Amino acid sequence: MFVGFDYGTSNCAMSYMDQDGASLIPLYGDNTFVPSTLYALERGFIAELIAQQVQDGEAKIHYTQSRSALLGQARAGKVEHDLDHVRDGIFFGSEAIEHYISAPGEGYFIKSPKSFLGASGLRQQSVDFFEDVVAAMMLNVKQRAEQYLQQVITQVVIGRPVNFQGINAQESNQQAQAILAAAGKRIGFTDIEFLFEPLAAGFDFETRLTENKTVLVVDVGGGTTDCSMVLMGPNHIQQLDRSQDFLGHTGERVGGNDFDIQLAQKILMPHFGMLSPLKTGLPMPLMPFVNAMAINDIGAQTEFYDLKTKLLLERLTRETFEPELLKRFIAMREHKHNFAVVREAELGKIALSAEPQHGFPLDFIEPNLAPECSAEDYAEVSEQLLQKIATLISEATRQASVQPQMVYITGGSAKSPLIRKVIRTLFGDEIAIVDGDHFGSVAAGLGVWAGRVFS
């Protein structure tokens, strides 16, 4: 059986084709989405889970040899945690978040691993780690989908951004796609195709068009923003080769996670001493605060938890005029609550899309700590990111050498009125802006394309 798989930065979803077209598959009860998070009591548990899935004999031998140390740790870990199966020590989605928040100093927690797949300079050990994490998360979705469909899934179209992150875009994209493909193969996908996510979102929309249109698809996801100018409609929909219909593509690693991080850095970190004056007359160093909130940057997180940062913060506590604020920051670091702070920033961002004011409940840091932010302040701190999105839209339009007849916006972060304002500024009030299923368009479009390439 074939499916479309949106392995997203923020959420994962899967779709299949039925008599009514592409439908999202319920994964947790009626919920068709699962947050892209994983929590494992032991790193080795993830490796053993994947080792159990590899069917090809030669591939299984190679995998177990490359992960032999981790598999040994898994055996010891099962004894330590009194578990019969490693699956009992691995959690996904909301359960992963709950386990991490309750005990942030224990286990392995990763959020939005897709953000890291194209990172430059990854060593083989890091590549292995991400292959395992991605495979485990894919396996969770695949098995839940198979249980719902009562069929084994072997063929898949996986969405990918136009560009992952990385200094060299081509190498970054190759590395990230190779990690996704290796992970998919290990858990039982025999045929894997990839499709740009904005095009997938557009294909879902195209099934509802009754006349031909030049459509600008703007997909603002959790980790990337992708823009595609596409010829769509009845004259195009049945073509398997759509290369002539794709008039322009742009993409960059700027998405909802970046808005969360920017909000946390600019609005919340001043309450942790980021702008506090020092007795030396020098400014407070910014990097510890920037690194703390940059939860999608491996290097930043490594530096934040390095001993040098600990010693720097101890010295700054003696030099600052507001030691109580910096001690609040140090406590956050010691309890590994920086992920939870960014999570509150994400919830605040969502609230500020509809409300003029929001208080961020940070009681887990300190009782009654609830910094305030207005919608105007949020727009101001987001200006640089919004300008990047405007540049991507303009470049896709320039490549196409044609103005769109309508703009189709999708992706969880595209729900923000700030994104719509960017589009209105670029194209005026005359052009039609159509909202897709902000979370499900990509998954549905991938299912549509899977039906065409695998049927």
Q: Provide, rounded to the nearest whole percent, the portion of the chain with pLDDT above 70.
A: 99
- Strand (E) or helix (H) holding 390: helix 383-400
pLDDT of 237 higher than 90: no
Q: How confident is the model at residue 242, as a pLDDT? A: 81
Q: Per DSSP, what are the bridge partners of residue 3?
A: 156
Q: How does pLDDT run across 274-305, given as a tens digit for each residue?
A: 999 999 999 999 999 999 999 877 788 889 99
Taking residue 239's Cβ as centre, other Cβ atoms within 10 Å add up to 11
Position 434 pLDDT exceeds 60 = yes
Eight-class DSSP state of 271: G
Quickly count helices (H) and strands (E) in the chain. Answer: 17, 16
Average pLDDT of span 389-401: 96
Query: Which pLDDT value is given to residue 131?
Result: 97
Residue 167 confidence (pLDDT): 59
Is the torsion defined by CA of 144, 147, 152, 156 positive or negative? negative
Q: Which amino acid is at 250?
A: T
Which residues sit opposite 251 in a β-bridge?
226
Report in angstroms the alpha-carbon separations of 272 from 134, 240, 260, 352, 404.
Answer: 34, 54, 17, 22, 45
- 353: CB partners within 8 A, 6+ apart: 415, 416, 417, 418
Please, are residues 105 and 336 in contact by the beta-carbon 8 Å criterion? yes
Please state, in angstroms and rounded to a whole number, the distance separating the CA atoms of residues 343 and 322: 26
Domains of the chain: 2-197 (3.30.420.40), 211-254+385-437 (3.30.420.40), 257-383 (no CATH)
pLDDT in tens, 100-129: 877 777 888 888 899 889 888 889 999 999
Cα distances (angstroms) measured from residue 449 to each of 23, 196, 230 = 13, 11, 15
Q: What is the pLDDT of residues 137-161, one digit of tens each?
A: 999 999 999 999 999 999 999 999 8
Q: Distance between CA 233 and CA 247 in Å, rounded?
A: 15
Q: What is the pLDDT of residues 348-389, one digit of tens each?
A: 999 998 999 999 999 999 999 999 999 999 999 999 999 999
Rounded Cα gap, residues 86 and 46, in angstroms: 8
Q: Residue 193: which residues within 8 A CB-CB, separation 6 or more?
A: 156, 157, 158, 449, 450, 453
pLDDT grade for 62, boundaries at 50, 70 and 90 = very high
**Lowest-confidence region among 43-52, 86-95, 237-246, 263-272:** 237-246
In total, the chain counts a number of residues equal to 455
Contact 46, 52 (CB under 8 A): no
100 phi/psi in degrees, rounded to 5: -65, -45
- 3-state per-residue secondary structure call for 8-31: CCCEEEEEEEECCEEEECCCECCE
pLDDT of 97 reads 87
442 contacts 162 by C-beta, under 8 angstroms: no
Note every long-range contact of 273-280, with CB atoms under 8 Å and residues 24 or more positions apart, other chains counting.
273/316, 273/320, 273/322, 273/325, 273/326, 273/328, 273/329, 274/329, 276/320, 276/321, 276/322, 276/325, 276/326, 277/320, 277/321, 277/322, 278/316, 278/319, 278/320, 278/321, 279/319, 279/320, 279/321, 280/319
The closest of 214, 201, 128, 126 to 162, measured between CA atoms, is 201
- Mean pLDDT over the full length of the chain: 92
Please state, in angstroms and as integers, the Cα–Cα distance from residue 169 to each residue in 118, 119, 174, 176, following that order.
8, 10, 9, 10
User: Structure tokens of 425?
Assistant: 């500024």
**Burial bucket for residue 212 (CB in 10 Å: 0-12, 13-18, 19+):** middle
With both helix axes pointing from N to C terminus, report the angle between 68-80 and 43-51 in degrees, rounded to the nearest 10: 110
- Model confidence at 166: pLDDT above 60: no
pLDDT digits (tens, 9 = 90+) for 12-49: 999 999 887 889 999 999 999 999 999 999 999 999 99
Q: Judge contact between 427 and 402, C-beta under 8 A.
A: no
**Which of 165, 169, 146 has the alpha carbon at shortest distance from 156?**
146
**The model's pTM:** 0.81
Return d(Cα 232, Cα 218) in angstroms, integer: 15
Q: Which residues pair with 373 in a beta bridge?
A: 358
What Rg value do the Cα atoms of the chain yield, rounded? 23
Please enumerate in sequence order all residues whose Cβ is within 8 A of that of 170, keeping only pairs 6 or more positions apart, or say none.
Answer: none
Smallest CA-to-CA distance from 139 within 65, 202, 86, 210 is with 86
